[in-house]
Amino acid sequence: MVKLAEMITDKIRHKDIDDTKLQRLVEAALFIADKPLSVQLLKRDFLIEYRVSNLRIRDIIIDIQAQYKGRGVELNKVASGYRFQTPAELSDDLAHLYKEKAPKYSRAILETLALIAYKQPITRGEIEDIRGVAVSSQIIKTLTDRSWIKTIGHKEVPGRPVLYASTPEFLDYFSLTTLDQLPALMPIEDFTS
Amino acid sequence: MVKLAEMITDKIRHKDIDDTKLQRLVEAALFIADKPLSVQLLKRDFLIEYRVSNLRIRDIIIDIQAQYKGRGVELNKVASGYRFQTPAELSDDLAHLYKEKAPKYSRAILETLALIAYKQPITRGEIEDIRGVAVSSQIIKTLTDRSWIKTIGHKEVPGRPVLYASTPEFLDYFSLTTLDQLPALMPIEDFTS
Amino acid sequence: MPDSKAKLSKSTVPDKELVSGVMLQQVLPFALLRGEAIVEKPQDLFIPPDALEVILEMFEGPLDLLLYLIRKQKFDILDLPISPITTQYMTYVDLMKDIKLELAAEYLVMASILAEIKSRLLLPKQAVEEDEGDPRAELVRKLQEYEIIKKAAENIDELPRLDRDSFVAKVELAENFVPEILNSQVDLAELVSALQGVIKRTQAYEHHHIQKESLSTRERMAHILTTLKDAGIEQPYCDFSDLFTVKEGKQGVVVTFLAILELIKESLIECVQTQIYGEIRVCLPRQA
């Protein structure tokens, strides 16, 4: 069987190919294949008609790699072969194209934000006192990353805890000019009763 | 609403970008997009952070087109934008691998498509009249599913039949920019031999 | 059965078998079957039903069949010989019926149109009304219109197309690529309801003073602290008078003053006066 396959391949693999054409074909193949291509795969699937050595294909790939240095795509070697990829440096700029929705904020995050907005300046301990549960660092980080809260100093009590306040970005997001415009809480009698 | 979107865009679109970086980004964007990209789309989806004019993007595209001349892929303009695709000269070498996978279209589909492309806007009844046979719903469905045709209204005659027209995706598929580029209709021939 | 591999092979029909006259096409080869011409006289020649079916199914409809008959025999479409065309057309339609090909109504409609034209042509010339043109005209127009589209469809089929003649380049994203995360949206009402939830949960009602009026003081407190923090290490203080904005009027002054008092009470700021009647300076408390 192997013998026969070899014979057939030898028979098919008869055309000569110059470097320019070889490079065009290898490049095209790498761009249209839906998986990385090894030298063997390139030879079997795209260069079947041509008499060309593995070494020559490898040399051509090295040439192509050099030619794409610093461009918008680069030719990388991965486990199963070669493939064109966008350079790592461009990932941040390309990130805009693929957007993922962050999960909705938890009740803990919203309560913490509300307390900071209405009771600022406030320490983490005070928030925990009111909420009756610990405020995780993740919650503070989420709100800080979002630029909705900031630290504005330390409270001069033992431990000098950090004081949190809301930011102008917080007001912007909710289309407010001042904190006065935050909705009034339910009338006092509603929760004194 | 538009006002707000513009304001947001103005706020985001603030960074300067040099030609080298711009070219890398445009090139990368064109390679990773799953559809042809127009200058507008490039600007909106990939260059949102940068202050860059349509003219500059167009110049960069022309540069890239020149740089890919004679390579394994080339940057072509089709109806809905620009895309990298393999050049016609390589199709014989590449096509054999994909020949079985390439979809074939029946004469009924092609004739219906031709009528819609050349005589749009056109109703199903008018198509049937010219072809002399009924147009099956399957044909309309195939063409609609491929996004090659769309309905663009109703003809104001009894029954208000739907009017069909071709889409940019139809032109894209055949690597055309405008309907003008479709082969000219054959002039009425004298059949006397 | 190899017979079923019959191919319609218009171009290879030998010329000598084509009779170029108008009315005498008795032997019309329209296909080659294993190298032999198939002629349209089924009663004289055995045509394997499979092959015939393949051939007949190739017609897109009556107009296509008519065009085929006209083209094969090099009839002048503008001077259509209705009589032989009708005869041949009917032969095909009969054939289709014989092999139980699902015969569309359109074929029968065309047959009746042909018969009608034929009968009108047979009428003596004088009987034809003055303003009535050639009865073939409408059919000829339709045939020409259809042929244009038939050719256009063939042209479209030959256009270079994706996934057959040209392939779109596709590139993977870098391994370090992370899609942009869209921030979750929060409604102001959600914020209020979150806080009211907290208040409801709280056993003691010591926070009843949370109300709209106090907010401006609270906000001013945060503002003063920010100002002091931003004043930096070089000059970690602020003149007392600088904290007031005359533009805000009496109410603003009161709010600022209350804020300063509250900050002092909570030991968040200190006030210092370096000389009698000198400027009062406000600063952050010295670190312990």
CB contact under 8 A, B25 and A90: yes
The answer on pLDDT for B188 being more than 80 is no
Contacts of A84 in chain C (CB under 8 A): 169, 171-172
B143 close to B109: Cβ distance less than 8 angstroms: yes
Of B83, B103, B117, the CB nearest to C168: B83
Question: From CA B174, how far away is CA C157, in angstroms rounded?
Answer: 9
Bond prior to C179 in cis (omega within 30° of 0): no
More confident residue, A152 or C283: A152
- Sheet with B149-154, edge to edge strand ranges: B122-123, B162-166, B149-154
The CA distance from A165 to A163, in Å, is 7
φ, ψ of residue A111 in degrees (nearest 5): -65, -40
Tokens encoding A24: 């065009």
Per-residue pLDDT, averaged over C274-285, amounts to 75
User: Average pLDDT of C89-105?
Assistant: 80
- The pLDDT > 70 percentage for chain C reads 68
Using one digit for the tens of pLDDT, what is the confidence trace for C117-154?
888 888 766 655 555 677 888 899 999 999 999 999 99
pLDDT at A180: 83
- Residue-averaged pLDDT of chain B: 88
Checking if the pLDDT of C32 tops 80, the result is no
CA-based nearest distance C70→chain B, Å: 9
- H-helix segments, chain B: 2-12, 19-32, 39-41, 54-67, 91-98, 107-119, 124-131, 137-145, 168-173
Q: Give me the pLDDT at residue A36, please.
A: 94
Residuewise pLDDT in 10s, chain A (193 residues): 556 655 555 556 678 899 999 999 999 999 999 899 999 999 988 888 898 999 999 999 999 999 999 999 999 999 899 999 999 999 988 887 777 777 788 888 999 999 999 888 999 999 988 888 888 899 999 999 999 999 998 988 888 999 999 999 998 888 888 888 888 765 433 443 3
pLDDT number for residue C215: 62
Does the pLDDT of residue C100 top 50, yes or no?
A: yes
| Cis-peptide, bond into residue B168, ω within 30° of zero | no
- Residue A112 in tokens: 């913490």
| Chain centre to alpha carbon of residue B147 | 10
pLDDT computed for residue A93 by the predictor: 87
Give the three-state DSSP class for C172. strand
- Cross-chain Cβ contact C199/A191 below 8 Å: yes
Percent of chain B surpassing pLDDT 90:
72
For residues C227 and C279, the model is more confident at C227
pLDDT at C182 over 90: no
What's the pLDDT tens digit per position in B109-161? 999 999 999 999 999 999 999 999 999 999 999 999 999 999 999 999 999 99
pLDDT on residue C218: 84
- Nearest-5° Cα angle at C149, C146 to C153: 140
Point out the residue among B31, B114, B133 whose CB comes nearest to the CB of C156.
B114
ipTM of predicted complex: 0.75
Give the pairing type, strands B74-78 and B81-85: antiparallel
Q: Which residue has the higher pLDDT, A173 or C192?
A: A173
Residue A75 near residue A61 (C-beta atoms within 8 A): yes
- Most confidently predicted of A125-129, C79-83, C96-100: A125-129
What pLDDT does C15 receive? 38
**Residues of B with Cβ-Cβ distance to A96 under 8 angstroms:** 45-46, 48-49
- B13-22, C3-12, C112-121: lowest mean pLDDT where? C3-12
To the nearest whole Å, the CA of B181 is away from the closest chain A CA by 26
Distance CA A135, CA A175 (A): 27
User: Between chains, do C167 and B28 touch, taking CB under 8 Å as contact?
Assistant: no
Q: What is the pLDDT of residue B37?
A: 95
Tell me what the mean pLDDT of segment B153-182 comes to: 95
Strand (E) positions, C18-166?
29-33, 36-39
The 3-state DSSP composition of chain B as helix, strand, coil percent (nearest 5) reads 50, 15, 35
Chains with ≥3 Cβ pairs under 8 A against C?
A: A, B
Lowest mean pLDDT among A94-98, C96-100, C284-288: C284-288
C53, pLDDT greater than 80: no
**Who contacts B97 (Cβ-Cβ below 8 Å, separation ≥6)?**
A45, A46
Query: Counting Cβ atoms within 10 Å, is residue B45 exposed (0-12), middle (13-18) or buried (19+)?
Result: middle
pLDDT tens-digit readout, B58-99: 999 999 999 999 999 999 999 999 999 999 889 888 887 777
Question: Which of C171, C210, C218 has its CB closest to that of A84?
Answer: C171
Residue C268: C-alpha distances to residues A125, C124, C224 (Å):
16, 119, 10
Choose between A119 and C286: higher pLDDT: A119
Place of tokens 């005209």: C137
Please, are residues C267 and A160 in contact by the beta-carbon 8 Å criterion?
A: no
Quick one: average pLDDT of C53-57? 71
- Residue C29 is encoded by which pair of tokens? 């080869």
Q: Which of B116-120, C18-22, C59-63, C82-86 has the highest mean pLDDT?
A: B116-120
Q: What percent of chain C has pLDDT over 90?
A: 10
